Structure 1
């Protein structure tokens, strides 16, 4: 049996530290170090916990599981809890070490099973493996005649004397005198109990770690505990029982998980975390009475039952756009999750992950939108009808409009709105004469495309025999399907377009936003919409991609670049940048000198930066602010508006205050605007000129950049920040 660890000690220590942090839904190394220290307030408990982690990591390596998952501590944090429990309840000895191996392995294998089961439903397995393993050990204990209970746990002063001598004992007694028999004392004891440390110092250290890691998590830990504490009093329960049952950690973990981890922190997540506490109190009391029959502690069972139940309820909601919103990608802390979510201009449509675009080329008009006056009612209220109008006469036809060929949209190409598979085609219905509708063959010539299991697009009223695709054919976005016609219930040529949940022609229309389009209102003003619902009477068009812009941001994994930074003193610094892709298929740039990472999405229509991790002094931070969002459009005199993540705009003192206020609202503002300057060259542009501006509260300018993108793919920015020198940034692909 050969266990190999990549980068040996580095890999092991990362996996060990993150196992501790995972218990509190964190990956902070600093917080993990505090938790590691806390576990060693009782040396034997600490040793058992650390040993259990190593056993679980070794098993994961033996089975050659994914290293990224191992390093996150997902295979080992339950074994850690089992190890801490064994060290707390049983006295040191070889027999207990044998028990430790069995318990750690049991928790590991249950973890593997539950990962497979719960992953199908997108649910976390939490600490269920720990519960099963520790209950099995506790039920088996009476049969182990050579294993004794850990009596030192009953006399903590002796333990503290061994660790720190008389000064530590005096200090611990001082803490007891200050906090014992108070609500805060019970709060600290409950925090410490999560790591099987039943003393106030452990709780204080964990509270400090929580505060450093996340102000939101710290706040929710207080809310969860003190709401439960009040509810105990309200029901006439003895609040002091929390001191010796230590079940308060169920309320703390529940509030942290619901309020700030699995849900984006918000007013709604705050209300749900408060609402769940009374439920958790009742479940805790009831399960405690039940498990007392077996002389077992319920440990974290109430937290697991209630949390998994409510998360499943949230996941099967029909409308995922309404708050509270689930956190799909976890960042370093819940504040970052909230700030990145808030920066999404189209966050109300975040749950609509498939990109569906307009099914035509050029500019078309919407003559009937959602809940239209004629036929878009009831089952078909979420459909669109598109036509083409003359911009000057505002008419949809040439001449008198008595024949279908007079209509501008008749015979124009209809294209696939996204990649998919053709599942239905009707191609033989005659086109109607003007003013006549074929109500017997309502939809006329139609193509239905399957995009995923529950998402189909339907394009109807096409021209007879114009459809070029067949059932079973895979199509790509932008591929011509047929031509706009006047078949079916269509008195005038137009294109009917809807999304639906099944392949059947005639299925109800489904509410679904379209992506990446230009909308022009009646005054001629144009706006870019990243994701939204185009409205009736507006002119809409897909993005006509600019080759110049597209090529400048077309990067492949392994491509290398140089960023040249020049300040006003003409001092020049060079930085090497590499384009990479991670195991989650996320594209990012990394600065070799500073280690900063910039995550982005290029969908061939737009370049979007989704996250930045690293120092604000890195050149990637300047690139991030300058080109946060770029649309590859040929149109000039266009303005792109978007939100900008506020945690990258304000200093730490202001941001910390905002961190605490996140569940009540985000009051700091960040607005990003990119302006496309008018080009004198209509064709074969040699360069594109843009300028970007970031403003904060009260429209205060926080950053601006004059940007030039050349045909040779070089990007130059002249950047200004308040009270700072002007910066010249030049981006170029590294020469071989």
Structure 2
């Protein structure tokens, strides 16, 4: 093994230690883990037991091949860590002093058992429930440990009789003492000072997580009062279970929000009742005193595991994906998950609303939209009728009664999303102009299944134009038929709707069309996701496959700018980089980096790091999004990402408030025009506090289609802030 490889492996093993501690609190912070490791040494016996068991599990998991040798992850070993902490908590100090090697051997055996048990259980839960097994391995291991000590007579009603570097304190009052003791119990250190340190560290890492731990304890303390339950002198299992339930449901597995927190409170109540239901006593005869006695059987983390897995899995089975929103992004930090959801998901779509592309090419008139005044009513309200109309307002070229003279007739119809053909009706002849077929209302049609009980229907098609059969797969944008005049259709048009079953005439489903343009008196307005309205002329945005190159943002490209900022001038270089995860970045020589994507002919800014006033910041402020349509004047609106418009401290404050209400809103309005080979963009970003405008930036960007971004001007009011020109 080379020196470089040895350093990688040893570095990974070392970092896996604090990462295992932080994983217990659903965090990926090594600093948090290091502090938590130190906290466990408030009781040296417990801290040493945890560290020994963890190191054993890390080494074995790498040697056996459960993890790569250089892995920094603590996910696979955190159950061994908690199980070892449990050994340290229950193991008699007298026995440890008498036979330390027996103590070490016992810890290693427990650690290995928890490790292998985790691998098996986690495989089963991911395979059948699409859920991590959390700390089920620890709970099963810990109950075996407890019964072993109970049967051998090593347990007493006051198990925590170890040396403590900091004695328990009641100076904080009953309520806070219970809260901090519950927090300390997460690491088998039921000490007020340990809990205080853990709570403080959580507060520093995530304000939302800290607030949720308090909410969990509020629920627990109220239930203790209402139901007359009692706490204990050692670990209060209902306390730390409810804290973890609320924190994990309300901030980890669900995107933080009012509905998520309501679900979390309900889950906590269920967890408390489960803790009571699972509680019991173990009766035994002490082998030393020969006296009968009883011990309360701990529930360990069974309630939090059972309740969280139950709630999250049940939410995954919903027919419609509405609030609360499941966190499927793999981000365990509540504020970061909320930021990504707001800037990448909520920004481009409405939760639970299916999205489809326009099923026709070119410009079409919406002759009847949602809740139309002719036939789009009641259960059939969410549908569109499309026709082609010329500049003079006519829908035919010459003869009004000639079917083939209608612009819509014989136009191609395309699949608006990928799926499987569910039903085809063909062979119904077209009507003469003005006539309708009431016996076959829908005429010739095709319905396509897109999964999850969602179907699209394309009706009034021309007889013989459908070449597909039921069961065939069809891709997005595939030609499926041509427009006709069959069924209840006096003139050629396409009827399109999203529905809940394959049959024509079934209930329609509220949905959006995406990436289309609406014609205006001055040009076009781009709509990323919306509902075309009756009377609008719309057309799909034709994706420009070369947009990234036109902007000069291809991988490994470089650009340099002469920047003027007030009286200062300097040069700023941009490098374009594609990382291991397939993410594109613009990296400025002034320290700022921007993540972006170009998809379906649309540029999107996804996030900014190290926010500074430089050319890249100005570019991001002015251009959070750019759909491109050649030789057309195009307007659009967007919500810039928080990392662009706010300093980090203000962004974190807003993310903390966002689940409750949004006091600060941002909107960018942009307009694009094109002259020869130059794309000119005017943009304005407005800040509103409680609906009142408090700040605005505006400026221009010029893009040379052959050379990329050539100039940027950022202003506020009448003051020019920054000017950058390509060199």
SS of 1:256's equivalent? helix
What is residue 164 of structure 1 aligned with on the other side? none
Residue of structure 1 in register with 2:704 after alignment? 710
1:102 to 2:102 alignment: no
Q: CA deviation at 1:510?
A: 3.7
Q: 1:247 to 1:451 in 2, by over 3 A?
A: closer
Which residue, out of 558, 563, 566, partners 2:563?
Answer: 566
Give 1:208's aligned residue: 200
Q: Secondary structure at the match of 1:24?
A: coil
Kept after mapping to 2: 8 A contact 1:456/1:501: yes
**For the structure 1 residues 300 and 10, does the alpha-carbon distance in structure 2 shift closer, same or farther, using more than 3 Å as the test?**
same
Question: 1:501, CA displacement in angstroms?
Answer: 5.2
Pair 525,115 (structure 1): closer, same or farther in 2 beyond 3 Å: farther
Q: How many residues align?
A: 702
Aligned to 2:288: none
Q: Deviations over 1:102-121 (max 9, x none)?
A: 33233333333333333343
1:234-633 maps to which residues of 2 (within 5 A)?
A: 234-238=226-230, 240-241=231-232, 245-289=236-280, 296-321=297-322, 323-331=323-331, 333-343=333-343, 346=346, 349-351=349-351, 356-377=356-377, 380-393=380-393, 395-399=394-398, 401-422=400-421, 424-452=423-451, 454-467=453-466, 475-500=474-499, 508-520=507-519, 526-546=524-544, 549=547, 551-552=549-550, 559-562=556-559, 564=561, 566-568=563-565, 569-582=568-581, 586-589=582-585, 591=587, 598-614=594-610, 616=612, 621-633=617-629
1:178 aligns with 2:171: yes
Q: Distance in 2 between matches of 1:618 and 1:74?
A: 40
1:202 CA displacement:
0.9
The equivalent of 1:671 in structure 2 is: 667
Instruction: For residue 65 of structure 1, report the CA deviation from its aligned partner.
Output: 5.0
Alpha-carbon distance, 1:101 to partner: 3.0
Normalising to structure 2: TM-score of the pair?
0.85
SS of the residue corresponding to residue 171 of structure 2 reads helix
Q: Which blocks of at least 5 consecutive residues in structure 2 are unaligned?
A: 284-293
Distance 1:694 1:347, change over 3 A: closer
Residue 688 of structure 1: aligned partner: 679
Alpha-carbon separation, structure 1, partners of 2:518 and 2:60 = 56
Contact 1:714 1:730 (8 Å CA) reproduced: no
**TM-score normalised by the chain length of structure 1:** 0.84
**What's the CA shift for 1:255?**
1.7
Q: Could you say which residue in structure 1 is the equivalent of 2:286?
A: none
CA shift at 1:412, angstroms? Answer: 1.4
* RMSD of Structure 2 on Structure 1 (CA): 3.8
Cα deviation 1:214-263 (Å, max 9, x = unaligned): 1111111112112321332233334x547653531112112212222222
Q: Which residue of 2 aligns with 1:193?
A: 185
Work out whether 1:134 is the aligned partner of 2:142. yes
Deviates more, 1:375-384 or 1:253-262: 375-384
Tell me which of 218, 222, 226 is aligned to 2:214. Answer: 222
Q: How much has 1:199 moved relative to structure 2?
A: 1.2
CA contact (8 A) 1:186 1:242 kept: no
Pair 1:720-2:727 in alignment:
no
Superposed CA deviations along residues 367-419 of structure 1, whole A, max 9, x for unmatched, are 233344444455544332211223432x4334452232232211112223234
- Tell me which moved more, 402-411 or 531-540: 531-540
3-state secondary structure, aligned to 2:229: coil
How far the C-alpha of 1:491 sits from its partner, in A, is: 2.7
